[in-house]
Structures are given as C-alpha cells and as structure tokens.
Amino acid sequence: MSLSNNEHNRGSESSAVKPILWATISFGLLWAYILCVGFLDETIAGVKISTTHIVFAALSGFVFSGMCFTWIQKRRVFAIAAIRDTALGFSAVVVGLVLLDVGYSVYLNSSQPSLTAGDRHSDPNVWIGEFYPELYFPTEKNFRLHKPGRRITGSHYGDMYKPVLLTSTLLSSSVFSKKHLTISINDDGFRETTTLEGHKIIAIGDSFTFGWGIDQDRTWVELLERSIGEPIYNMGMQDSSPKQEFLLLEHVIDSQKLDFRGGLLLWMIFEGNDLIDSYDDLHSVQNPVSTAGKLFKDTIIETLWALPAMVRQESVFARFKDGRATFSDLGGDNRTKDHYVIDGVPSAYPLYVSPQFGAKLFASYQIKGAQRSEQYVESHLNRLALEKTFERMESLAHRAGFRVVVIIAPSGPRLYGAKFEDFPTLSEQSYFNILISRLTEQYGFEIVNLEESLPPYATKELLHFRDDDHWNERGHMAVADILSGFLRSRNVALVIEK
C-alpha cells in the first residue's frame, strides 16, 4: 500500500513538472521582454544598462520564478490547474506583445513610402549625401571631424531628392534645383581655409552652422565675419548633437590648439533633431570587443546576444517611449497621406503648397518634432544629458575664459507651417526651444532666439530650400543680419581680447 502511495506521489510530482516549467519559461520570457524594452541602454545610478546586465537579470528572473513556482506547488499554495492557467496567461501576453510588434512593423512598412525609391546606380545626378566629405572619430570621445585636406566642387540636388521623383512634373519644374558649391576642408578637419590659431570668435553647431547646401563664402558664418569685421572660425559639424559639439570644442581647447581666453562662442542649437541625437560620452565604433565576443563571432551565440537590442528596437512600447512613434501614426489623416503622392509618384517626404511661396517638400520627422508636447520634451531620455551638457559648457567657459551666445534655430515646419495649405497642426509652442531658453538663462549665457527674430524675414520670402530642410542663401543672409545686429549692439569688437 505504501508502495502504491509512493508511486502516486511520484506521478503527481511528474504531472506538476510540465505546468511549472511552462509557467517558468513564459514568465521568464515576459520578464526578459520587460527588461529589454524598459531598461536596455538606460542609465540607472550612473550605470548604463548593457546587454550583459539584461542577460544576467533575465537568467536570474528565470531561476527565481522557477523556485517560486516549485515552492508554490510543494506547499500546495495553489492547485496545479491554477499554475497552468497562470502559465497560459503569461504565454498569451508574450505572444500578444510579439504579434503587436510584428503587426506594427508590417503596418509601417506597408503604409510608408520607400526611402530608397529609384536606383542611384543608374542615376547621373548627385544627391547631397553623396557629395559631402566623410567624417571620422579622432579619439574615443563621441565627436567627429571631417577627413582633412579635402576640396570638393560640383553640383547636387537637395537632401529630399530621389531619382524617381524627377518624373513628377511639379517636382522637376518647381521644387528640385541643382546647387553648385565648393567645400574646402582644412588640415584640422574643419570647413575653413585658415588655421584655428589666433581666432577669438568660434561658431559651433550642426549642418546649419556648417552651411549645408551653401557655397563656402555664403554661409552665415562667412557673411557675419565680413559684416562685423572680425574673423570667425567655422567649427560646424553636420549630424552632431549639442553634446558632440561641446566635446569637440573641449578637445580643441584641452589639446592646446586654441587659446580661447577672452573669446566668444556662437553655439547654434537646432529645434529639429538636437534633442534626439547622440548624447553619449564615448562613441560606439571604438568600444572594445570582449574576448567572448571574438570567440562567438558569426555563431548563433552572437545572434542570441544581439536579440535584446533587436527586441528593444522593434518594440511598439519602446518606439513610443523614445518618441519614434506617436498615436497619430496609428491612424493617419487621408489628407496628410495624399501629400506623399505627387503626380502619382510616391515620396518619402510630404509636399505642401503655399499661395505665397509655392511648393515645398518638408521633412516628416521635423513635422512630428514640431508637434511634440511639453511632456514629451521634459520627459525625454536626453533631456538630463542636454542639461548636463549646458552645465559642462559653463564650466569649460569659466575655465577657458570665454563668453557663450546660444543661437536657437527653429525648424522649417515651425517657421513656415502656418503659411502652407492643409499643413498638420503643430504644438502651440516649441517646448524644446523653451527648454533651451531656460537653460541658457540658468547658466548665464546670452541668447539669440531665431524663432522670434526670423519671422519678419520669413514673411517676405522662403528662407529654406524647396528640396531640403536647410536654409538657402537668403536664409543665411537673414541669420547673418540678425546676428550682426546683436553683436554690434554689444560692441563685440571691443570685448574680444586682441
């Protein structure tokens, strides 16, 4: 009889193994998903959460949940059927999340026009991205320079050009135009023909400072230099964030390439993407590869190791959290979608028409950026890093003895959206620009807010290219005129140390 009871107990324990294992695996997968989406690449208590942290925490979750479900079964806290139902619930949630992520990606792929329409290999025209000199990382710090000693002369279309779009009569006749320009990169990696030594006015920023699509002597930096009669050195670097611009300036000063005591820094910050760009201290290109990484390269282990980053990248919740998606993306206005098809040709960028200014293509991400709420800006992952960048700039300015003028550059949608028919509704205010204004005042810098000073110029003419999201020649002239008046009002020539 006792043997029969032992056999019965072993049978009961055996029948409980599968539900416990099922519950452990399903809970572990859900826990791993939460870790990837909620914590990967986040900084907690000064530590950046890496894949290693995620894998360790996920494995710990598997072990802990297995122990908990085993304890629950042995203590008869819940019946086996309850554990089975719990496992089913966890499994359903995991499957639902995966289907949601896959479905959303399929929706985006099917609803968005292709960014690679046309075949560049058979296209004789030059796109602006093919024209510009390459960038490189000179140190392990997260800033770049142009490869030195380059001079490029030629013509190209703007950033929104795709070969297939030339088949549209409207675009080919009224929007796309070739721009002829010369770019000279000196031996230090900047868009300059002179050396850095001796300069007391430096301009830093992204492509709006560099002069994207503008001939060398027609950028606002060159125009301002001639207007005030003082040399200005252009350290603008396209596709850079305020953090990367600071790191570049810090490198130049600390490497003793520049004595900036008594100098003046013109720091241009762009509403369009300066909140979402990189704010890391070190760039990822030169991160050391671990021994394990080398051993398991091109194996299934390497693929599994990349899985957490893939989950985070494709998760619907992570997209909303990072601002890569909005609720408006899920619905969409048919009127707005119509702007992506021009003369029957699909475009990655919407076309809007103004009775005064005619037709113009706009960058979709800048339209979305100009629709962001105050809560989005204030809760963004990079906001604290941006504030820290201002704090570090104040410290560097104090240590090196220079003044800082922050120049706020509004996006094209912010400046012109209301003047174009059927344009999407934007936020009442630019909360990013408000944040920059607040930080500028907090750290004692001077400010030129182009969102406030450019409209009188913008009401008269278009200051942006029609096939690009950057300022045209008239835009650079307007910015130089505004900055010239600002600097003259402060007698800049008298305060710059000779």
Q: What would the pLDDT profile of 268-301 be if each residue is shown by its tens digit?
A: 999 999 999 999 999 876 444 555 555 656 677 7
In sign, the C-alpha dihedral spanning 26, 29, 30, 31 is: positive
- Helices marked H in 112-184: 128-131, 169-174
Read off the tokens for 146: 């142009």
- DSSP three-state, residue 232: coil
Q: What is the mean pLDDT of the chain?
A: 86
Name which residue leads in pLDDT, 92 or 9.
92
SS3 75: coil
What is the reported pLDDT for 1? 46
Q: pLDDT value at position 132?
A: 86
Whether residue 21 is predicted with pLDDT greater than 70 in this model: the reply is yes
H or E stretch at 58:
helix 51-74
Percent of the chain with pLDDT over 90: 58
Closest by Cα among 200, 176, 91 to 126:
176
Domain assignments of the chain as residue spans, ordered by start: 2-111, 122-276+332-495
Angle at Cα 317 formed by Cα 316 and Cα 319, nearest 5°? 65
pTM above 0.85, yes or no: no
Q: How far apart are CA 113 and CA 337, in angstroms?
A: 10
Report, as an integer, the average pLDDT of 11-33.
Answer: 80
Q: Give the pLDDT of residue 335.
A: 42
In this prediction, residue 183 carries a pLDDT of: 93
Lowest mean pLDDT among 87-91, 97-101, 334-338, 463-467: 334-338
pLDDT at 286: 47
- pLDDT of 18 over the 50 cut: yes
Q: How far is CA 195 from CA 137, 218, 232, in A?
A: 20, 19, 11
CA distance 55 to 164: 45
Q: Select the more confidently predicted residue: 380 or 129.
A: 380
Give the DSSP letter string of 390-439: HHHHHHHHHHHT-EEEEEEE--HHHHHGGGSTTPPPPPSS-HHHHHHHHH
The CATH label, of 3.40.50.170, 1.20.120.80, 3.40.640.10, 3.40.50.1110, for the domain at 122-276+332-495 is 3.40.50.1110
Residues in the chain: 498
Residues 6+ apart with CB under 8 A from 406: 267, 269, 436, 440, 445, 446, 447, 448
pLDDT interval class at 52 (50, 70, 90): confident
Structural tokens at position 289: 């590869």
Q: Please determine, for residue 3, whether its predicted confidence score (pLDDT) is greater than 50.
A: no
pLDDT, position 325: 60
AA identity, residue 220: W
pLDDT for the residue 184: 94
Q: Residue 332: which region, alpha, beta or left (left: phi > 0; alpha: psi -120 to 50)?
A: left
Which two tokens mark 38? 């909620």
The whole-angstrom separation of Cα 57 and Cα 64 is 10
Pairing status of strand 47-48 against strand 43-44:
antiparallel
Average pLDDT score over residue span 59-82? 86
Asked which of 57-61, 113-117, 224-228, 359-363 is least confident by mean pLDDT, the reply is: 113-117
Q: What is the pLDDT of residue 61?
A: 87
In single-letter form, the type of residue at position 43 comes to: T
Residue 321 pLDDT class (50, 70, 90 cuts): low
Task: Write out pLDDT tens, residues 392-444.
Answer: 999 999 999 999 999 999 999 999 999 999 999 999 999 999 999 999 999 99
CB 371 within 8 A of CB 427: yes
Greatest mean pLDDT among 66-70, 200-204, 315-319 lies in: 200-204
Task: With cut-offs at 50, 70 and 90, classify the pLDDT of residue 381.
Answer: confident
Q: Residue 13 has what pLDDT?
A: 54
Query: Which DSSP letter does residue 120 get?
Result: G
Q: Is the dihedral of CA 13, 19, 25, 28 positive or negative?
A: negative
pLDDT at 333: 47
* pLDDT greater at residue 220 or residue 125: 220
User: Out of 174-188, 227-241, 299-313, 358-372, which region has the weakest mean confidence (pLDDT)?
Assistant: 299-313
| Closest by Cα among 200, 203, 196, 205 to 256 | 196
Tell me how far apart the alpha carbons of residues 29 and 209 are, in angstroms, rounded to a whole number.
Answer: 47
Report the C-alpha gap between 432 and 275 in whole angstroms. Answer: 8
The bridge status of strand 150-156 relative to strand 179-185 is antiparallel
Report the pLDDT value the prediction gives residue 77, as an integer from 0 to 100.
79
**pLDDT band (50, 70, 90) for residue 328:** low
What is the spatial distance between Cα 357 and Cα 42, in angstroms, rounded to a whole number? Answer: 44
pLDDT at 79 over 50: yes
Nearest to 364 by CA among 37, 111, 105: 111
Predicted confidence (pLDDT) at residue 380 exceeds the cutoff of 80: yes
**Beta strand residue intervals within 143-221, DSSP E:** 145-146, 150-156, 179-185, 201-204
The gap between the terminal CA atoms of the chain, to the nearest Å, is 105
